[in-house]
Amino acid sequence: MSDVGRVWPALGRQQAVAAVATVLDFAWMAFAVQRLAVAPGRAAFTGAALGAVASFLLGRTWAFRARWSGAGLQAARFALVAGVSATLNGLGAHVMHDLSRIGYLTARVLVAVTVGALWNFPMQLGFVFRDASPPARASWR
């Protein structure tokens, strides 16, 4: 399948994966801020890291169907992309909440949507899981 032909189905599946990862991410962040008195920027960073683990596992096996390639290389690529993503989420939450005085949940949603659309999906499709095609089968004819 061409790159263009795999974008739309992968985008739909990745958005479902992102929803699951986001629930984990936000649930941890709210718990950490409300119950553990963790600073919103730090809670956003650790929540994003937790969501990243779920995102990799579900993205590899279902969203991008990239089970045929080496998991180690994909995990290394994903860790790089997720590290930047977590940093962008943490910094964005800090700037929007602490400096702009926007509520931490509102700030986090705005930042997460922006980072997801402009960083996560393009990098997962074109870098992390770019070699998602199954190996060619040998013909016995």
Over the stretch 23-82, which tens digit does the pLDDT of each residue have?
998 899 999 999 999 998 899 889 978 988 899 999 999 988 887 778 899 999 999 999
Contacts of 24 by beta carbon, 8 Å cutoff, 6+ apart: 47, 50, 51, 54
Position with higher pLDDT, 87 vs 1 = 87
**Of all residues in the chain, what percent are helix, strand and coil, respectively (each to 5)?**
80, 0, 20
Report pLDDT for 134.
55
Is pLDDT of 1 > 60?
no
Report pLDDT for 31.
96
The answer to whether the Cα torsion of 56, 114, 91, 26 is positive or negative is negative
Is pLDDT of 15 > 50?
yes
Is pLDDT of 2 > 70?
no
Query: Quick one: tokens of 25?
Result: 């991410």
Position with higher pLDDT, 18 vs 7 = 18
Report pLDDT for 133.
60
Report pLDDT for 36.
97
* Cα–Cα distance for residue pair 128/88, rounded to 1 Å: 18
Report pLDDT for 39.
93
Mean pLDDT of the chain, nearest integer: 85
Report pLDDT for 141.
43
